[in-house]
Amino acid sequence: MDFTRLFDILPYQQYKYPQEVALCNLQNGAETPFSTGQCITLIQQLSAGLLGIGLQNGDKVAILSSYNCAEWTITDLAVQQAGGMVVPIHATTSADECIYIFNHAQIKYCFVNNQDLYKKITEIQHQCPHLQGVFTFMPVANAPNWQQLFTQNADLLQQAAQVKNAISPQQTATILYTSGTTGQPKGVMLSHANMVSNIKAVLSVIPLMHANKVLSFLPLSHVFERTVVYTYLAAGASVCFSMITQTEQNLKQVKPLYFTAVPRVLERMYEAIEKKGQKLKGIQRRLFWWALQVAEQYPVSGKINFTYAVKLYIARLLVFNRLKQAVGGSVKGIILGAATLQPRLAQIFTAAGIPIREGYGLTECSPVLAFNRFEPGGSRLGTVGIPIPGVEIDLAPADGEILARGPNIMQGYYQEPELTQTILAPDGWLHTGDLGEWVDDKFLKISGRKKELFKVTSGKYVAPQPIENRLCRHTLIEHALIIGDSKQYICALIAPAFDLLAGYCQAHNLPVDNQSRQNWLKLEPIMAIYKSMIDEYNTQHATEHPIKKFLLLPVEFTPENGLLTPTFKVKREAVIELFKQQIAALYAY
């Protein structure tokens, strides 16, 4: 038996290795498991119920959830099986963006997980003329619950089976609206064949086995986590869903072998460890910082000599065991995507015995294009790995833009044929907008974003991302943005890592003022800390484009305040707009 459509994956699992726990909800320590057979039954009953309320082939159904849960996946597959197209929407999406997406996609039904999201959608429902019903996963007073849709009606179940059998692998399974860092959301259309090809390719390069425990906490509304979850199911793994706020305790509870993350998640984990290290005294403190120095020397090739191996063994035994326990103690790999991880952190986690495997992709590519392997010689720190099977990657001769072609490439942007033509060539090559280079003629390395390149008044181009990555190696810098388009020089916008900055200041008898961050960041000793980092960069790395000035930003970047995407990428335009007055002062004579 094989699978060619997304909703074939659970029957495939049932045929090859049925699981007592295929999906499991974790909440406050409690577990709610679903076997493979239970999931299949629920999907059949829900797809029949959807047909019963009038869902027709090609209708769009939205799902919004503030955390991952089995209900999300069951609904996703039931809608597809009934011929509908699922439109996942991030829970943090603004009301205005929701109105745009609901109307652009002509969404007919919507599923939400709780009262807050039910209220959010019903308050805008009068502005969404195509929306006929909103259902909740959790019980909400006076709200239609998703359980009302489940049916055992024989006629509807037979109709659902007929609809399911008629669905082609080429049919659009989902439309994903990319939040992006700028501009209006675009609806990426992915077929069953697009996503299944990606799942099978990823499955061939991750050493997953049936009954392996894995944890899922990144938003399922993002194609990265959604594709990985279906890859887990195809491998017969047991998927445990965690609220992102309970990730730390659920990692210890589940002890997963694998999980996916974005760089910000690992940065938070590391910051917590370093914060504890700052409080250590005497020999423990010296040992902690020695171990970090050892980790930072971990070779990017992964090949270590005997002397370093001895140091690493001692560091793991005495210090890094705590970091490994923080991710459950059994982890064999963390699969990283959505953004680039600081090479220093990749070295530290890998040195700690927690293999980091970075990959690269886009929503338009279902999403994976390249991935670092787990076998010896198949990975290199600082790169996004080797192209996955079946995918071609090339670099444009003119500027190094990454081009991709394969069965995973999107069908196009929904109702945007002209926009589709700007990125997808007739011969199938997708223009990613990312700049890359080859390392050892094998590993792909991301060197920047084509759209983020800008010119200073000297006429020379500046690529901001490498500079930003270099600055973010400092643990007291959480985010950095380089600006200077059409200006005479470049400046840095710096969002401090406030918790670590407070710990650093306490350890060095410097003032701390979390009540008024704006005033705190203007203090001379604090400014001096960051000036030294800028001076270090200018001395060691800046040749043509030194950073002339910098601005410390008094706010944390979050998806909730609109400064980060749901996958924790910085929204450059939003940051620049919010601080436009302060930025203008940087360039005032």
- Percent of the chain whose predicted confidence (pLDDT) is above 70: 97
pLDDT digits (tens, 9 = 90+) for 332-381: 888 887 667 777 788 888 888 888 888 999 999 999 999 999 888 888 88
DSSP letters, 320-349, are: IHHHHHHTTS---EEEE-SSPPPHHHHHHH
Last residue of a domain, one of 237, 259, 281: 259
Residue 57's pLDDT band (boundaries 50, 70, 90)? very high
Last residue of a domain, one of 259, 294, 315: 259
CATH number at residue 52: 3.40.50.12780
pLDDT digits (tens, 9 = 90+) for 547-575: 988 999 999 888 888 888 776 778 888 89
**Per-residue tokens: 501:** 């900055």
pLDDT of 542 strictly over 70: no
| Averaged pLDDT, 454-479 | 80
Q: How many domains does the chain have?
A: 2
Burial 520-549 (b: 16+ CB within 10 A, else e): bbeeeebeebbeebbeebeeeeeeebebbe
Domain assignment present for 40:
yes
Cβ-based neighbour number of residue 441 at 10 Å: 5
| Averaged pLDDT, 512-527 | 85
| Averaged pLDDT, 419-430 | 92
Cβ-based neighbour number of residue 469 at 10 Å: 19
Q: Which residue has the higher pLDDT, 71 or 524?
A: 71
Listed in sequence order, the DSSP H helices in 142-189 are: 154-166
List, in sequence order, every beta strand (DSSP E) within 45-104: 60-64, 85-88
**Residues β-bridged to residue 455:** 461
Q: Which residue has the higher pLDDT, 158 or 276?
A: 158
pLDDT digits (tens, 9 = 90+) for 228-254: 999 999 999 999 999 888 888 888 888
CB-side exposure of 98: number of CA atoms within 13 Å?
A: 26
Q: What are phi and psi of 384, to 5 degrees?
A: -105, 15
What pLDDT score does 181 carry? 44
Q: Which residue has the higher pLDDT, 144 or 374?
A: 144
Domain assignment present for 302:
no
CB-side exposure of 72: number of CA atoms within 13 Å?
A: 34
| Averaged pLDDT, 392-417 | 94
List the one residue out of 570, 572, 571, 569 whose CA is nearest residue 262.
569
Q: 64 is in which domain, residue-wise?
A: 6-259
Q: In one letter, which amino acid is 538?
A: N
- Percent of the chain whose predicted confidence (pLDDT) is above 90: 50
List the one residue out of 508, 542, 546, 540 whose CA is nearest residue 526.
508
pLDDT of 182 strictly over 50: no
Residue 432's pLDDT band (boundaries 50, 70, 90)? very high
Q: Report DSSP state, residue 384.
A: -
Q: Which residue has the higher pLDDT, 255 or 29?
A: 255
Domain assignment present for 409:
no
What pLDDT score does 295 carry? 85
Cβ-based neighbour number of residue 379 at 10 Å: 24
| Averaged pLDDT, 466-490 | 85
Last residue of a domain, one of 259, 277, 308: 259
Q: Among the listed ranges 63-72, 168-177, 205-214, which one has the minimum average pLDDT value?
A: 205-214
Domain assignment present for 198:
yes
Give one word for 326, left, alpha or beta, with left for phi > 0 and alpha for psi -120 to 50: alpha
DSSP letters, 206-236, are: S---TT-EEEE-S-TTSHHHHHHHHHHHHHT
Highest mean pLDDT among 139-148, 178-187, 256-265, 448-457: 139-148
Dist. CA 150–CA 48, nearest whole Å:
7
Max alpha carbon distance in the chain (Å)? 77
Write 90-94 long-range contacts (CB < 8 A, 24+).
90/64, 90/179, 90/219, 90/221, 90/222, 90/559, 90/566, 91/64, 91/65, 91/66, 91/117, 91/219, 91/221, 91/566, 92/559, 92/560, 92/566, 93/64, 93/179, 94/562
**Residues β-bridged to residue 443:** 439
What pLDDT score does 458 carry? 66
CA distances from 276 to 271, 292, 500 (A): 9, 13, 10
Domain assignment present for 479:
yes
pLDDT digits (tens, 9 = 90+) for 89-115: 999 888 988 999 999 999 999 999 999
Domain assignment present for 169:
yes
CATH number at residue 524: 3.30.300.30
For the chain, give the mean pLDDT.
89
Residue 118: which H helix or E strand, with range? helix 115-122
* Peptide bond before residue 367 is cis, with ω within 30 degrees of 0: yes
pLDDT of 418 strictly over 60: yes
CB 412 within 8 A of CB 189: yes
Domain assignment present for 526:
yes
pLDDT of 144 strictly over 90: yes
CA distances from 430 to 425, 495, 524 (A): 6, 34, 49
Dist. CA 437–CA 418, nearest whole Å:
29
Domain assignment present for 310:
no
What pLDDT score does 168 carry? 97
CB 246 within 8 A of CB 26: yes
CA 511 to chain centre: 36
Q: Which residue has the higher pLDDT, 452 or 80?
A: 80
What pLDDT score does 402 carry? 95
Dist. CA 8–CA 61, nearest whole Å:
20
